[in-house]
Amino acid sequence: MRIALAGAGAFGEKHLDGLKNIDGVEITSIISRTGEQAAAVAAKYGAKHSSTELEDALARDDVDAVILCTPTQMHASQAIACMKAGKHVQVEIPLADSWADSQEVLRVQEETGKVCMVGHTRRFNPSHQFVHNRIKAGEFNVQQMDVQTYFFRRKNINAKGEARSWTDHLLWHHAAHTVDLFAYQAGKIVKANAVEGPIHPELGIAMDMSIQLKSESGAICTLSLSFNNDGPLGTFFRYIGDTATYIARYDDLVNGKEEPIDVSKVDVSMNGIELQDREFIAAIRECREPNSSVQKVFDCYRVLGELETQLAKG
């Protein structure tokens, strides 16, 4: 399986590190914003080609699939370009930053038949897989999820502390993780509300947001998001259920008393991003729809679109 990766920044390298652990995978092309960065990352991971243009990778015969870790605003158009060029594609979360663009990506996927997977990593983290397995077994039902997504980003910088060429977004990026996960664990979302704080004068985005969700099962979710929080950073999920309470911190899981739960045997790796990439590769090889395909996560973007409309009305 010959892979091109576009967007060789902080998150792109996490994918490249995960791909190294998957048998039969070759990184053949690296695309990045500057030629220097693309060449350096290509040398580090043994890719034979580097460029600043995605089109260069799409024209190559030694590229079977593409992983997009590019700015959010480029995701939809680039995913469409990949599929139209005959390549399978995994686009990092979010699929798009509008409901209309999300619909167009799905249309092109259905038209081309290519694998189009979206990087909804929470479906793959061993912590959330553990909870999902208990739900499927009928041993646990979500009554409430309480989620905190907190970062400190009052300047336009990435996870490495480097200047970003694009602006991140609480609703279309960070809320997407929880909106999809809540539906995955508790059923289709039937009610959603949101309020946001002041708009940052330079970044032009809300720095604080609160979202309420209700699923068809009757479960509820409260999501608090902030770019103003000066630590601890990250996303923390509390599952309150009928038989237990769980707290998930990325790949790790504890119960309500903060006692660790061993999730090391849930899957072949403890790295959610590696597991996400393994699913992408396996789906292509097995000619099947992957978990977190554009079809399976599509309803998340309907909810985000509804929340955007609600916020615009004030």
pLDDT tens digits for 47-66?
A: 999 999 999 999 999 999 99
pLDDT tens string 1-52: 999 999 998 899 999 999 999 999 999 999 999 999 999 999 999 999 999 9
CA distance 219 to 270: 28
Q: In 126-183, which ranges are E strands?
A: 142-150
**How far, in Å, CA of 148 to CA of 222, rounded?**
9
Fold of the 2-120+273-293 domain? Rossmann fold (3.40.50)
**What is the phi/psi pair of residue 51, to 5°?**
-165, 170
Q: Where are the domains of the chain?
A: 2-120+273-293, 122-268+299-312
- Do domains 2-120+273-293 and 122-268+299-312 share one topology? The answer is no
Supply the CATH classification number for the domain 122-268+299-312.
Answer: 3.30.360.10
Model confidence pLDDT, tens digit, residues 180-235: 999 999 999 999 999 999 999 999 999 999 999 999 999 999 999 999 999 889 99
d(CA 50, CA 73): 22
Task: Give percent helix, percent strand, percent coil of the chain, each to the nearest 5.
Answer: 35, 25, 35
